[in-house]
Amino acid sequence: MKRIKVAIQGIKGSFHDQVTQEYYRAAPELLKCNTFDTLAKALAHGSCDQAVIAIENSIAGSIIPNYALMDQYGLFIVGEHYLSIEHNLMALPGQKIEDIKEVHSHPMALLQCKTFFEAYPHIKLVESNDTAEVAMETQKNKIQGIGAIASKSAAEIYGLTVLNASIQTIKNNVTRFVILEIADPKTSEPISKAAWKFILDHKRGSLATALNVVSDCCLNLTKIQSLPVIETPGKYAFFVDVTFDIVEDYLKAKSLLEIMAISFKVLGEYRNGKS
Q: In this predicted structure, what is the pLDDT of residue 188?
A: 67
Q: What pTM value is reported for the model?
A: 0.90
CATH domain 5-84+173-181 topology = D-Maltodextrin-Binding Protein; domain 2 (3.40.190)
CB 225 within 8 A of CB 67: yes
* CATH number listed for the domain at residues 88-164: 3.40.190.10
pLDDT digits (tens, 9 = 90+) for 146-158: 999 999 999 999 9
* CATH number listed for the domain at residues 193-270: 3.30.70.260
> In CATH terms, are 88-164 and 193-270 the same topology?
no
Give the residue from 138, 149, 93 showing the smallest Cα distance to 116. 149
pLDDT block averages, 10 residues each, the chain of length 275: 89 95 94 95 97 91 89 95 96 96 93 94 93 93 94 96 95 94 77 95 89 96 90 85 96 96 95 85
DSSP string, the chain: -PPPEEEEES-TTSHHHHHHHHH-SSPPEEEEESSHHHHHHHHHTTS-SEEEEEEEETTTEE-HHHHHHHHHTT-EEEEEEEEE---EEEESTT--GGG--EEEE-HHHHHHTHHHHTT-TTPEEEE-S-HHHHHHHHHHTT-TTEEEEE-HHHHHHHT-EEEES---SSS--EEEEEEEESS-----S---EEEEEEE--SSTTHHHHHHHHHHHTT-EEEEEEEEE-TTSTT-EEEEEEEE-S-HHHHHHHHHHHHHHSSEEEEEEEE--TT-
The residue ranges of every structural domain in the chain are 5-84+173-181, 88-164, 193-270
